[in-house]
A and B are shown apart, each in its own frame.
Chain A
């Protein structure tokens, strides 16, 4: 093989590899990316059960209940315009409490309850996930 042909082959191989990687990446992105929803968004968009979703809002006051197994809780996430019931089995972050911001990763089940796999709460006293801040801001301005 001449040097020039070899460079050409290498270049073609590289391009093929990159296109293959890009296709792999795009198809994985399409299937695996979780869109962020506020409770109002979930009502408006009719999110299908089983789709991975990131739900953000505020833990509604008086909605937090602990189930008898001692490790499962249910609560309601609200953005003051709409509400979503959530179930979570696990140890909640230290700053998770009623009236505080929360982001939950999970899926809706067939009954319309959101089953959270992980819960992110306000990280420390000074920090709030931007999604939550945005969602709260949106619902605040809706009320006015």
Chain B
């Protein structure tokens, strides 16, 4: 019954979504009679999708094996957390989560958006309904999560062991909140294009939604990177895997949008460009959904294989992106361009930020899609990996960091070079000192890491410079937000450069009792023992690590074999010190009885994710600061 109720809720939600579209269309066209129902319908629709999603979670937690999806991905042997999170560790469940977040985002706009002009708001909710209809159709016709199974099998197949990790409970929902949250920016742009209402007040209404989605996206990417780092056991934190790129591309576009919407809100500039970015940002989310959910990729993440779904998603993708761009093309001429500004000004800095982010986005997009397009058109297979992305995107990212250091020190509208250089002076000197010091300390360092470290030092100082000579208690929260977020980028960049240049790696075959030196540690293979968990058995190495005269640490990496489904994985053991991580992996037994061990010493690698967290915290401070300030002093919500 529960599965049928879930399916019914979905169909009802789809019907309400259609009603939302029709009512919004009439209301925008001037027939006000239906305007009153748009908001309640949007909320009711969200409640129904949430109900369907809640019922699916219930089916997974209860392990109702009469539902095909539960049978394929769940098993009663698993602990509660993985039965719960398995709900979205598969194609259908994650698409239902997608639609649920889409519905909830629409309802949030209907309930909480007060700044936007009423007609534009109705058009926005209409836009949200258009997106919703396509994805309801995809769920109901191509990805029904509630399909029954007859006869009922005795036990489920279980969840892919790589996904049996607490990361699954956190990473996908966070990422999806960001991904799908960007739909609101997209719908805002559609709404504004329809009613031709583009200006500072529109930008101020849109900004918190963009900021909210961006915070979740940042958290999701950071968490996903750490998850891949410790779960895969390859010692890397970013592989330029297409699935990773699928989350990076919306982030790049959303970051650009976040900055351009500020220009629109403050100075009424970059109107058309901001709308364009809002369309691009969510388009990238849809491209990402297509890449991940169509099964088109050969990658560690792509678990879905079904061409019918791919075609369906591709058609949706073309309809939405094409439709939005057509609307943009038709209406952009009537969007007057706003105020102008000097080549040396905060606006100009933000334009440079936008150009660089867009260029990086283009490079990532080309590198991700090129192999697919080439194979589809000529049959030639090739892989585009880290060498391409590092060579093409790396230098641009470093220029972007330099711009990021400069931007906040520029005045709006017009500034002069001389005072700017004076403000930038300390940071530039620090960067230069860091450059020379690093080059002297490590002459063999790669150019990318060298400049990365130097610019990270410069950016760190330049980011806190806006606080200089300010009363810190009276500094608005959103300024703190910018400072913290930019500082986070500096921290993360330093971590990336340290990891890529100073990591020590050792691959050895060791006998029990043998000691291996790695970085500042000496690691002894103390024992190899069999062990087991709720759904796996494993060989576990006990490693005793010692640093100088310090205490002895125990690390226990495992080579695991899961039963349902039968799969081998390796569980890393990581020790976090103040200045880096010791990362250990147990491999196979060599023919003569020795054990393969892979050891890494990764100095300051944790800064990468600490920086990501700072960026998200900065976003949260800005969001809270703006809302609070806006409520307190509506007359001068902008400073």
Contacts and interface: CB of A to CB of B under 8 A. Distances in A.
B590 A66 contact: yes
Interface stretch (B33-41, B388-396, B495-503): B388-396
A18 B567 contact: no
Interface string A8-51: 00100110011011101100110111111000000000000000
B565 A124 contact: yes
Nearest to A10: B351
Interface size bracket, B side:
35 or more
B387 A70 contact: no
Nearest to A3: B340
Given A21-B359, A24-B363, A25-B366, A33 B382 contact: yes
Contacts of B351: 10, 13
A130 B375 CA distance: 12
A125 B565 contact: yes
Nearest to B300: A123
Contacts of B355: 13-14, 17
B594 A29 contact: no
A35 B384 CA distance: 9
B364 to A, nearest CB: 9
A32 B592 contact: no
Contact of A33 (B342, B384, B395, B588): B384
Given A25-B392, A105-B383, A92 B588 contact: yes
B566 A34 contact: no
Nearest to B507: A71
Interface string B328-363: 000000000100111000000001000110111011
A85 interface: no
A31 B388 CA distance: 8
A125 B566 contact: yes
A95 B568 contact: yes
Contacts of A98: none
A94 B568 CA distance: 6
A126 B302 CA distance: 13
A80 to B, nearest CB: 19
B370 interface: yes
A126 B367 contact: no
B359 A20 contact: yes
Contacts of B569: 94
Contacts of A129: 298
B562 to A, nearest CB: 9
A21 B568 CA distance: 42
Interface in A57-98: 66, 69-71, 89-92, 94-95
B380 interface: yes
Contacts of A22: 362, 366
Of residues A28, A89, A95, A127, which shows the largest number of chain B Cβ atoms within 10 Å of its Cβ? A28
Of residues B383, B387, B395, B507, which shows the largest number of chain A Cβ atoms within 10 Å of its Cβ? B383
A137 interface: no
Of residues A2, A3, A29, A129, which shows the largest number of chain B Cβ atoms within 10 Å of its Cβ? A29
B509 A34 contact: no
B507 A91 contact: yes
B417 interface: no
A1 interface: yes
A127 B391 CA distance: 32
Interface in B571-594: 585, 587-588, 590-592, 594
A54 interface: yes
A32 B387 contact: yes
B570 interface: yes
A52 interface: yes
A126 B565 contact: yes
Interface string B588-629: 101110101010000000000000000000000000000000
Contacts of B384: 29, 32-34
B418 interface: no
Interface string A115-137: 00000000111110111001000
A6 B382 contact: no
Contacts of B300: 123
B385 interface: yes
B381 interface: yes
A91 B587 contact: yes
A36 B371 CA distance: 11
A40 to B, nearest CB: 14
A25 B507 contact: no
A24 to B, nearest CB: 5
Contacts of A2: 340
B362 A6 contact: no
A36 B356 CA distance: 32
Given A91-B507, A105-B385, A124-B567, A71 B590 contact: yes
A131 B381 contact: yes
Contacts of A124: 160, 565, 567
Contact of B383 (A7, A21, A54): A54
Of residues B363, B380, B395, which shows the largest number of chain A Cβ atoms within 10 Å of its Cβ? B363
B436 interface: no
Nearest to A68: B592
B598 to A, nearest CB: 6
A2 B340 CA distance: 8
6 contacts: A17-B356, A20-B359, A66-B590, A70-B508, A105-B383, A126-B565
| Complex A-B, nearest 4 residue pairs according to Cβ-Cβ distance, in ascending order | A70-B509, A94-B568, A36-B381, A91-B587
Given A24-B363, A29-B370, A34-B382, 5 more contacts: A17-B358, A33-B371, A105-B383, A123-B300, A125-B565
